[in-house]
Amino acid sequence: MTYGKPVERKVTAATAGSYLGLVAVLTVLQTVNTDLDLIAWLPDWAESLSIPLLPGLITWVSGYRAKHTARPDLPLDQR
Task: Report the chain's C-alpha Rg in angstroms.
Answer: 18
Residue 16 — very low, low, confident or very high, per pLDDT cuts 50/70/90? confident
- The model scores a pTM over 0.85: no
pLDDT digits (tens, 9 = 90+) for 20-71: 888 888 888 777 876 767 677 778 777 778 888 888 888 888 887 777 767 7
For residue 29, the Cα-to-chain-centroid distance in whole angstroms is 19
Contact assessment for residue 60 and residue 10, using Cβ atoms and an 8 Å cutoff: no
**7 DSSP 8-state letter:** P
Q: Where are the domains of the chain?
A: 9-66
Per-residue pLDDT, 1: 46
Per-residue pLDDT, 30: 76
Contacts of 60 by beta carbon, 8 Å cutoff, 6+ apart: 7, 11, 12, 14, 15
Q: How many whole angstroms separate alpha carbon 38 and alpha carbon 10?
A: 30
